[in-house]
A and B are shown apart, each in its own frame.
Chain A
Amino acid sequence: MLTPSDERELAEAVAGAAGPLAVLGGGTRRVGHPVDGDDLTVAGLSGVTFYEPGALTLVARAGTPLAQVEAMLASEGQMLAFEPMDHRKLLGTSGEPTIGGTVAANASGPRRVRAGACRDFLLGVRFVDGCGRIIKNGGRVMKNVTGYDLVRLMAGSRGTLGVLSEVCLKVLPRPESTGVLLLVGLDVEVAVRAMSAALNSPYEVSGAAHVPVGLDGDPVTMIRLEGFEASVAYRVERLKDHLAEFGPAGIERRTEGPESAKAGWAWIRDVEAHGGTGEDVWRFSIPPRDAPALVESLGDASVVLDWGGGLVWAAVEQGRDARRSLSSGHATIMRADDETRNRLGVFQPEAEPLASFAEGLRRKFDPEGILNPGLMG
């Protein structure tokens, strides 16, 4: 296990590596194709190095625990707007998720439909490539088109092109109030139409999720509104009228201590419904309209729909190729045994010429093929 404690040591560790490296943040997951190699953890590169609430920017070393970043932001009434999931319940892992791992996986939760994904809030990166070179891209300003955008390339590259040492993120004010509309008893097709109607309204919906089997056994559709207290109160009422054709909506609004609404969304975000079951878990990113057909094709799989239907988490029987049900978008295996992952491929196979380009990028950024080799193909 390599445990550098600063960027320079990280660069030396990579430059001096004898063979492949498995890059870890908190090391809280083992998704992706199993990587055969020495563990390299960036947990030693920890700490928020810059935080300016008035400029909505925060810079942290890659190994900084996500929880530490979130607590610091909360103390100033701000947040990571892309709502990164905590996948420990889903994957049954323990440990401390890091900001670098979050960025490397482009992890984004329910608010993605309105605010954007992790990659949309990433302003700058510093990373070490496979040759041990320290490279920077982007910066700490909101708008930056100076040169190619390696910032977004690094987001979601899962440690296969470089090891992140530092990230700069745009943060947002934490909403004063949250309101949730609950529609009960809708089948998936109608639920997707209802979520679409909500997202297509001017009321700034910041979450739209559906679970066919809710806590008390019935389907429940959740639609979230956030902002200043008076504004949420107003929009919740308007949206309720707007969605009248989908049946009576319950309203949950917690202005002081939004704990209950928050817990519900954390449950969606972290896909707790699929935690601890013995099944394989697949993640589908699709055009929202295609969700009903996908769910139908998945048969008796248990599903959770987020992003208005654009994100479907399915728990299916072990070893099954759920990717067959996909007609557009892509599917990732989030939880399955090694045999299944190797046989079916964790990530959606890429079409040519993108597959060759991806290989070309890996050769350029990591000529020896030592950074998480094979993880992404």
Chain B
Amino acid sequence: MDMPAPSIDVLNRKSRIVERLRNALSAEHVKSDPVETRAYECDALTAYACQPLCVVLPGSTGEVGEVLRICSEERVPVVPRGSGTSLAGGALPTSDCVVLGVSRMSRILEVDYENRCIRVEAGRTNLSVTGAVEEDGFFYAPDPSSQLACAIAGNIAMNAGGAHCLKYGVTTNNLLGLTMVTMDGSVVEIGGAHMDASGYDWLGLVCGSEGQLGVVTEATLRILPRPEGARPMLIGFASPEVAGACVSDIIRAGVLPVAIEYMDRKVIEVVESFSQAGYPDCEALLIVEVEGSPAEIDDQLGVIGNIARGHDPVELREAGDADEAARIWLGRKSAFGAMGKLNDYICLDGTIPVSELPRVLQRIGALSRQYGLDVGNVFHAGDGNMHPLILFNANSSGELETCEALGAEILKLCVEAGGCLTGEHGVGIEKRDLMHVQFDPVDLEAQMNVKDVLDPAWLLNPAKVFPLSETATRRAAA
């Protein structure tokens, strides 16, 4: 993966830049010692790492503004950072950049039940947003598997999703307002507790812009009353194709489960040996969860069970109590960890129309054999958001490259099937050079035009999202 050559001019001015930042923030929050900045050299795409020029940890919107103004004047690239759990290399530094972390900004600013929203500082972790309102029976819906660690800032930048998005939508559908600082240090207020925007949909535009338009410092998020209850059902199938057909039929029937999760044999086996969830021995399984009162849940699971029976399930298991429900989810929740114990992996995130699931799963199997690397599939089936995990050994020379080549083939397959390169993890550096597969040059130009307006000098996270060749002139002008 190429990264642009660092600006020698910026590297030469390191001490002056650090000095200016230290004068603006307290010295302890500007880290330039390599021992201290090491923790920021990569995100969860650990195959790539680079020490930044320095790391700043501002404590307020005002301080973020100061930092950005200085960096603008000094023409230093800035890489915003939440918790560094990006799987796409979105928070990967360059050696000539300042990493701007918002982790110190994690306060709850206002809980507002009358307007059903909560205002938080953007460094707050996803799960602790729900934590602040759950005693009163509310929750924040988007639930990425990384929710214990990842920050709202990163969720907004990546437009994060999660298992329960089938019913509740992703970050952009649950974001009501935000405070953002643009590269020149201007503070921008967008939206609020009201339900739609006046003027253009700035919220929608900023959400998913991968830290390239501004640094988000505060957010107003929609909170929802918790349903009366929820219960999963586990269904095992004799083939991936049948499981895929069942997903389509469930959706068609008008039941709207909160989640439909899929795991294939590879993942089931690994997970079984790791967590002993008691999953059946089968080619594919679905976990379908529905919500409501006990009677409503019975009703919906009844409908789903009937549909599933039409597909000759190997096993059909309804959670009788909370304990059984937890066991059904246990394996799914530990899937990524379990796969990681087995080997190194990269996790893809292509999304396809649900109806294409059977065909695409078959093709992935063929590609896996062709490249000689195992692929496990565990994903959000209800919305076609696949997560093929390609297993490889990082210590074996050339395997990372083979793995990336296989990954690229799988993502091309997703686009060809009518889907896209990434459903929730973002482009980052990982899929940057595949953007041509999905977009024509005019499409990319239109997107880059937006960055030209909000960050004309292309200093915010400049080497991400777009193919480097497309952005070369713009970055050089900086």
Query: Which residues of A line the B interface, CB within 8 A?
Result: 52-57, 77, 106, 108, 112-113, 116-117, 119-120, 129, 133-137, 139-153, 155-157, 161, 172-174, 176, 196, 199-202, 204, 228, 230-231, 234-235, 238, 285-289, 307, 310-311, 328-330, 332, 347-348, 350-354, 357-358, 360-361, 364-365, 376-377
A291 to B138, CA, bound (A): 23
Residue in B209, B225, B385 whose CB lies within 8 Å of A148:
B209
Is B114 in the interface zone, CB < 8 Å from A? yes
* Chain B residue with Cβ nearest A112: B195
- Contacts A53-B252, A141-B418, A141-B419 given; does A230 touch B194 at CB 8 Å: no
Name the residue in A134, A150, A196, A235 with the highest tally of chain B Cβ atoms < 10 Å from its Cβ. A150
Q: Interface size class for chain B?
A: 35 or more
Residue in B137, B209, B439 whose CB lies within 8 Å of A149:
B209
- Is the beta-carbon distance between B418 and A139 smaller than 8 angstroms? yes
Residues of chain B within 8 A of A172, CB atoms compared = 256
- Is the beta-carbon distance between A155 and B204 smaller than 8 angstroms? yes
- Is the beta-carbon distance between A145 and B431 smaller than 8 angstroms? no
Closest chain A CB from B312 CB (angstroms) = 19
- Is the beta-carbon distance between A146 and B450 smaller than 8 angstroms? no
Residue in A77, A112, A116, A141 whose CB lies within 8 Å of B353:
A141
- Contacts A141-B351, A141-B423 given; does A285 touch B194 at CB 8 Å: yes
Closest chain B CB from A288 CB (angstroms) = 6
A134 to B445, CA, bound (A): 12
- Is the beta-carbon distance between B444 and A147 smaller than 8 angstroms? yes
Name the residue in B201, B202, B256, B423 with the highest tally of chain A Cβ atoms < 10 Å from its Cβ. B201
Residues of chain B within 8 A of A202, CB atoms compared = 137, 225-228
- Contacts A156-B201, A354-B202 given; does A147 touch B252 at CB 8 Å: no
- Is the beta-carbon distance between A157 and B200 smaller than 8 angstroms? yes
14 extra interface residue pairs, beta carbon distance < 8 Å, beyond A54-B355, A152-B201: A55-B248, A119-B201, A141-B351, A141-B353, A145-B425, A148-B451, A152-B204, A196-B116, A238-B293, A285-B195, A287-B193, A289-B115, A307-B195, A328-B193
Residue in B196, B255, B442 whose CB lies within 8 Å of A135:
B442
Is B358 in the interface zone, CB < 8 Å from A? no
- Contacts A148-B447, A156-B197 given; does A140 touch B418 at CB 8 Å: yes
- Is the beta-carbon distance between A347 and B198 smaller than 8 angstroms? yes
A286 to B439, CA, bound (A): 38
- Is the beta-carbon distance between A361 and B200 smaller than 8 angstroms? yes
* Chain B residue with Cβ nearest A230: B299
Chain B, residues 94-123, CB within 8 Å of chain A (1/0): the string is: 000000000000000000111110000000
Across the A-B interface, give the 4 residue pairs with the lowest CB-CB distance, nearest first.
A152-B204, A173-B254, A287-B193, A330-B198
- Contacts A133-B442, A143-B351, A310-B195 given; does A149 touch B169 at CB 8 Å: no
What are 29 A-B interface contacts by the 8 Å CB criterion?
Answer: A106-B196, A117-B195, A139-B419, A141-B352, A141-B419, A143-B165, A144-B351, A144-B423, A145-B424, A145-B426, A147-B435, A147-B444, A148-B465, A149-B209, A150-B447, A153-B205, A155-B204, A200-B116, A202-B228, A228-B299, A231-B299, A234-B293, A287-B192, A287-B194, A307-B195, A310-B195, A351-B189, A360-B453, A364-B453
- Is the beta-carbon distance between A361 and B450 smaller than 8 angstroms? yes
- Is the beta-carbon distance between B353 and A52 smaller than 8 angstroms? yes
Closest chain A CB from B304 CB (angstroms) = 12
Is B170 in the interface zone, CB < 8 Å from A? yes
Residues of chain B within 8 A of A156, CB atoms compared = 196-197, 200-201
- Is the beta-carbon distance between A285 and B115 smaller than 8 angstroms? no
